[in-house]
Chain A
């Protein structure tokens, strides 16, 4: 019945929505930033433990739609063990992939995150996918205040 939506709602997304990874409060986090999407009211808190420029742990709390939950869940998985610079690069690539600014995104480089490429066709949902990454960007820039997608 929802054949048209197969590119947007891939099985991986349902999986992460049902069982979000790294969904917990991190007591020893040294970066904590809140992200907010005023369009839909979604909120998330991102926790990071960064030591010597490396993201050693990442987790989140909050509620959102399947796209935003899967996006933040996947993100926390993929950035663990990455340096801050590598994570910034991923942010840029992810942003370009979801907003369609770049035709030749290296899907291999972005790995599992490619399942979210489908939002490109749904302008109303792009912010759901990018909220996690904007929040990460703020955390990496050490902006401790809450950020919003507006």
Chain B
């Protein structure tokens, strides 16, 4: 193992000291949501204790302070994903809202009946349903890039789906159900060669690797704060400035206007045009704190450590008879989705829970992926930077024991 300071990191996450059913918690449901370091918890307490007021609205000291902190978080996010400008960072509630925003604002204003939107067979429902809704509303057509048995995107099929009719590509950077990391740079390049904009769903990728939106050259990138060790209720839509400028607002209200009369409204400039109403102020400041926390270690080091964890878990899992790993892409993030012969994932989930191990059992909001593999559900262990080899040993021992009990 590398000299990644995992013990130091574990000490920073108070919840990891919890006991679940009298056993030490082994938290392996990070793809659903990550736990929070003390720095994030402290940030929220600090905001509410000392620096809270509504933002962009008052001349009083607290409002100015809160606004400064809030806009400071925007700058932290900008730097974290290397966006060109804070105007390109729109705060939303999560990846889901970000995709809906693009579908409703960009989609409705730029696409027409008959235009095609390309997604993939491994998308989360959040990157399927908003496009289906748009298709119902305006008559666009959804095209789906298939995957192979390993859970990898069929790149040639993707290229074939890019036609004169294609007006948007929306694909996940990393699959939550399979762990597959898609070749997003090539995906963007191929689409751009036909002047097709690309949205990347970064909900899973963002906590596991360094993301540079300018290097990727994607047109939109979305993610949720709660999967990045930050508070729930926070999310980010990155969009290239020119695209965002051309898009109409998503919701109307306070904060997104420059001037309102009863006959007309002049909208605010970026990014405020897309931020109607009072946002999750303390939470977004907390997201900034999560980014500061991660920057101490660096995403490259986190990525390398998690890759070792995944390799170890995969190697151990492969030795268990009757365990089938679902998703074996060559490029994969820290997700181990699996089934056990004759044992339903829900039973696996309950049994492991009784040992203090939290995993996800279900369809992972990716029912089409389950259909592709012909299973109703899978069990999924997903890793974060605070997990250890020893926790993987506990998981594997738990799986072996429950196989025995089921007989």
Contact = CB atoms under 8 A, between A and B. Distances in A.
Interface of A: 1-2, 4-5, 8-9, 14, 17-18, 39-43, 63-67, 69, 122, 124-125, 128
A41 B362 contact: yes
B268 interface: no
19 contacts: A1-B405, A2-B354, A4-B21, A5-B350, A5-B351, A5-B354, A8-B350, A9-B405, A40-B344, A40-B363, A40-B377, A41-B363, A42-B376, A64-B376, A65-B344, A67-B346, A67-B347, A69-B344, A125-B346
A66 B344 contact: yes
B344 A2 contact: no
B355 A14 contact: no
A13 B404 CA distance: 15
Nearest to A39: B362
Nearest to B400: A1
Nearest to B344: A65
Interface string B344-383: 1111001100110000011100010010000011000000
Contacts of B362: 39-41
Contact of A41 (B355, B370, B406, B407): B370
B122 to A, nearest CB: 17
B377 A41 contact: yes
B350 A122 contact: yes
Interface in B327-357: 343-347, 350-351, 354-355
A14 B407 CA distance: 9
Nearest to B352: A2
B401 interface: yes
A124 B405 CA distance: 21
Contacts of B361: 40
Given A1-B401, A2-B402, A2-B405, A41 B367 contact: yes
A5 B347 CA distance: 11
Contact of A40 (B351, B376, B402, B406): B376
A122 B21 CA distance: 12
A95 to B, nearest CB: 20
Given A1-B355, A5-B354, A43 B347 contact: no
B346 A40 contact: yes
B351 to A, nearest CB: 6
Contacts of A122: 350
